[in-house]
Amino acid sequence: MNILEKRLADLANLPSVTPGDQIHLTPDCVFVSGQSSSNVIKAFNRLGFKNVENSARIVFSHGKAEDEEIRQFCKEKGIRVIDCDLPEHFRAENKLLHGMVIAVIDEDMKCLGGRGAIPIVISPDSMAACLSAGSFTMFIPESVYIEINGALSGKVNGKMLCSYLVNIFEDSLIGNAVILGGKVLEQLNTDDLKELSYFFQLSGTAVGICSPGGPFGQVESVIKIKSDAIT
């Protein structure tokens, strides 16, 4: 098992997992954000759920037009509503994102993989069920490790790396778990890692994480890229 599979197996109370396995896991955090918040609340009511499980692990972000609806729902259910992004929220609570499995609703939350978190996107109905039960079901995807090594030139940043990878892989990674590693990642700052991690969303991965030290276990595919090829 690799860094992703080990964490998922742990939260599913399983000794091990392999690609294709269906697991039932309790995430470290459930994050419902933005315009999707209203859809989740509607699904929660439509499906007949009444109570939430593990409310201390659930975080909603404020919406716009739906702001009052969100706040009322969260007040009734004992759920926190934040006015900042999730990393900032956890910094204020002295909690590390690294290794944290987070159930999310918005695709752009996959960028949390740039901070070492493991965000897993689920549908509004699945998220509503997760609020009620405190857990959700998923299949373990095949893992691809992409290693980028070499010295990073001064003009190359996270956004350029993201574009380069998207152009190379196009839609070939859809549905896979992707681990990005290598010496180049050690040379990026927090903002660049965030920009790079939009690659997980743009390439259609099931889940992705930046792990400069490597996959820490078995993967189905390894791809190595030299930094001097990046333009």
CA 170 to CA 185: how far, in whole Å?
21
Looking at the domain assignment, is residue 223 inside a domain?
yes
Based on the domain organization, do 113 and 152 belong to the same domain? no
**Of 104, 139, 174, at which residue does a domain stop?**
139
Confidence of residue 230 (pLDDT cuts 50, 70, 90): confident
Domain encompassing residue 195: 143-229
Q: State the pLDDT at residue 35.
A: 77
For 230, residues 6+ apart whose C-beta sits below 8 A from its C-beta are 148, 156, 160, 161, 164
| Top-ranked range on mean pLDDT: pick from 37-41, 82-86, 150-154, 162-166 | 162-166
Contact between residue 127 and residue 58 where contact means Cβ atoms under 8 Å apart: no
Answer whether residue 63 shows pLDDT above 70: no
Based on the domain organization, do 77 and 100 belong to the same domain? yes
Q: State the pLDDT at residue 34.
A: 74
Question: How many CB atoms neighbour CB 156 within 10 A?
Answer: 18
CATH code at position 59: 3.30.499.10
Q: Number of folded domains in the chain?
A: 2
Q: State the pLDDT at residue 146.
A: 98
Answer whether residue 64 shows pLDDT above 90: no
User: How do residues 112-134 score in pLDDT, each as one tens digit?
Assistant: 999 999 999 999 999 999 999 99
Helices (H), 65-182: 67-77, 86-92, 124-133, 158-169
Confidence of residue 160 (pLDDT cuts 50, 70, 90): very high
Based on the domain organization, do 176 and 225 belong to the same domain? yes
Looking at the domain assignment, is residue 5 inside a domain?
no
For 148, residues 6+ apart whose C-beta sits below 8 A from its C-beta are 161, 180, 181, 182, 183, 184, 185, 224, 225, 226, 227, 230
Q: Tokens standing for 223?
A: 């791809």
Based on the domain organization, do 160 and 106 belong to the same domain? no
**Of 123, 139, 155, at which residue does a domain stop?**
139
Looking at the domain assignment, is residue 4 inside a domain?
no
User: How do residues 2-41 score in pLDDT, each as one tens digit?
Assistant: 999 999 999 999 999 999 999 999 999 999 987 788 899 9
CA-based torsion, 210, 99, 110, 13: positive or negative: positive
CATH code at position 203: 3.40.1060.10
Looking at the domain assignment, is residue 207 inside a domain?
yes
Predicted TM-score (pTM) of the model is: 0.93
Answer whether residue 231 shows pLDDT above 80: no
